[in-house]
């Protein structure tokens, strides 16, 4: 795969590899990406990891839905009682308001707090963590979903993927009896070590990679799925290395520029490089400039429309 280089003014030279196609995630891949987060939530808030994962799969379409990808909302939680950013889409009614999160990890945490904070869900916490069937039925009875088959849908996912194994003291479960030294070590690992900056094009959040960084390490630090990093930076399903100074977007790029109409090439540069440099989706640039390949070279002095 071709390695591409581009310059972001006053920041650094960055290197990226890309894939042209977008990946759709399977249920098994979703579980692999989010099982540890679900188990962590179970230990903190006493909600079965199996239920959390099954709801995430069902509500987000395995993490592929617009709500999950554009708003990091994996559980279909709407705006009532919410003071944060919002995302609107048609659901039971047209243009309904949903909560929008900075990352998917926030969605998992808010899901737990949402269940714990509503009195109508209080009865759920009388069930054993291993009684996923009662939890599934209890969610429906409390009004979490309008689909009358919601309990059966959750149960089918749990049993087919054997998610209930995560509720039974799985080796993945973090011990709740750590020493103070171990707790401090965990806190150090989980602390954000990168400064989040905002791109001029719509305040898209990004970080600059440090020596020794990997996509996996960044995904854990910001509680993002690997698939999100690949998609936001248009890597597809390819796992490439990182170099110190690389720019990694933590949010989707925009469909057009919000601050200028054209990009004038100062040197020969690929359209894909311009896409990353300007924070605009490469497929959109291809369309508005009538260019057939994201890797087509733009000659020095040529202008590329950005909106």
Q: Check: pTM over 0.85? Answer yes or no.
A: no
* CATH architecture assignment, domain 1-252: Orthogonal Bundle (1.10)
Q: Report pLDDT for 202.
A: 87
Per-residue confidence band for 223, with pLDDT thresholds at 50, 70 and 90: confident
pLDDT at 132 over 90: yes
Distance (Å, rounded) from C-alpha 143 to C-alpha 214? 41
Report the share of the chain in percent with pLDDT over 70. 82
Residues ≥6 apart with Cβ < 8 Å to 71: 85, 87, 98, 99, 100, 101
The token pair that represents 110 in the structure block? 């808010």
Q: Report pLDDT for 218.
A: 86
The token pair that represents 194 in the structure block? 């990168």
Q: Who wins on pLDDT, 214 or 253? A: 253
pLDDT at 142 over 80: yes
36-89 tens-digit pLDDT: 899 989 998 999 999 999 999 999 999 999 999 999 999 999 998 888 899 998
Q: Report pLDDT for 244.
A: 82
Q: Report pLDDT for 240.
A: 56
Distance (Å, rounded) from C-alpha 124 to C-alpha 29? 28
Per-residue confidence band for 188, with pLDDT thresholds at 50, 70 and 90: very low
- Residue 22 Cα to chain centre, angstroms: 14
Mean of all residue pLDDT scores within the chain:
82
The span from the first CA to the last CA of the chain, in angstroms, equals 29
Distance (Å, rounded) from C-alpha 92 to C-alpha 67? 14
State how far the alpha carbon of 243 is from the alpha carbons of 14, 138, 210, 238, 247, in Å.
8, 49, 7, 16, 9
241-278 tens-digit pLDDT: 677 888 888 999 999 998 899 999 999 998 988 988 89
pLDDT at 279 over 80: yes
Distance (Å, rounded) from C-alpha 101 to C-alpha 146? 24
Q: Report pLDDT for 55.
A: 97
Per-residue confidence band for 195, with pLDDT thresholds at 50, 70 and 90: confident
* 114 CB burial (10 A radius; 0-12, 13-18, 19+): middle
Distance (Å, rounded) from C-alpha 110 to C-alpha 117? 10
CA atoms within 13 A on the CB side of 307: 11
Per-residue confidence band for 305, with pLDDT thresholds at 50, 70 and 90: very high
**Residue 141, by phi and psi: left (phi above 0), alpha (psi -120 to 50) or beta?**
alpha
- Residue 50 Cα to chain centre, angstroms: 20
């Amino acid at each position: 795969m071709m390695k591409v280089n581009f310059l972001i003014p006053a920041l650094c030279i960055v290197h990226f590899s890309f894939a042209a196609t977008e990946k759709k995630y399977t249920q098994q891949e979703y579980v692999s990406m989010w099982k540890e987060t679900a188990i962590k939530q179970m230990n903190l808030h006493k909600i079965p990891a199996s239920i959390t994962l099954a709801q995430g799969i069902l509500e987000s379409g395995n993490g592929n839905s617009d709500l999950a990808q554009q708003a990091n909302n994996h559980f279909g939680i709407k705006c009532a009682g919410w003071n944060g950013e919002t995302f609107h889409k048609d659901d039971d009614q047209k243009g309904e308001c949903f909560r929008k999160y900075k990352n998917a990890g926030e969605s998992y945490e808010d899901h737990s707090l949402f269940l714990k904070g509503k009195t109508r869900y209080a009865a759920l916490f009388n069930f054993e963590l291993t009684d996923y069937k009662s939890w599934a039925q209890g969610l429906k009875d409390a009004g979490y979903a309008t689909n009358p088959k919601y309990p059966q849908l959750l149960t089918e996912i749990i049993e087919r993927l054997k998610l209930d194994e995560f509720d039974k003291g799985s080796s993945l479960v973090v011990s709740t009896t750590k020493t103070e030294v171990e707790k401090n070590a965990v806190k150090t690992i989980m602390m954000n070590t990168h400064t989040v900056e905002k791109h001029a094009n719509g305040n898209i959040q990004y970080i600059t990679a440090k020596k020794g960084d990997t996509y996996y390490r960044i995904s854990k630090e910001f509680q993002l799925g690997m698939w999100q990093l690949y998609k936001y930076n248009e890597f597809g399903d390819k796992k490439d290395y990182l170099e110190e100074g690389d720019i990694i977007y933590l949010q989707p790029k925009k469909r057009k520029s919000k601050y200028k109409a054209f990009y004038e090439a100062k040197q020969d540069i690929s359209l894909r490089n311009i896409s990353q440099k300007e924070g605009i989706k490469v497929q959109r640039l291809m369309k508005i400039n009538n260019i057939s390949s994201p890797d087509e070279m733009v000659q020095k002095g040529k202008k590329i429309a950005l909106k």
